Structure 1
């Protein structure tokens, strides 16, 4: 004859196993969602690297300069954005090559201006 305690223990063990498997399944699904979310932040791999981001970065620099009467120190731009000094420097060099800004060296610092906003002493 089957003892009632062993039946209860068997049912309890069975439920614990089912709950454990269910918990692992939910955990695995959450990890998969997290990984897909993180990959979405990095963006899909394309042949042209982050063209959309570059445009918005350029626009952000232009807006910063417009908000500051077309003239800012490079260090102020670095402080205003959440980018490295190297990224800001590369972006400003690209903008200068395209004639979108002017970089004026003042000692060890650069003054960045929109065309037509250069200080009078820098034009001569």
Structure 2
């Protein structure tokens, strides 16, 4: 018996395929909320730290993570060499400029003055 529902039509197939492609583009777009920023910076004054992609802090992030987890540390046939991290230098993002701290002169307490009375 032939299918009587609309799920096997060519138009419905094209519609489903379009939905899959759009959701894939939404998820895998490099600058989406799941991807990386246009210009990655470290948080500075007035900025809360957010999500930092795994490959933005160093050029060999996978090697560093493998070293920290101890992967290939007990390989006696071909032991891993020493790890040389290739860290990136990122700029700092500040939302405002800090004002310079003005320190008062050294505090001197006069011996001839009484403290302010606190009522009970």
Higher strand share: 1
Name whichever structure is richer in helix by fraction: 1
TM-score after normalising by structure 1: 0.30
Normalising by structure 2, what TM-score? 0.31
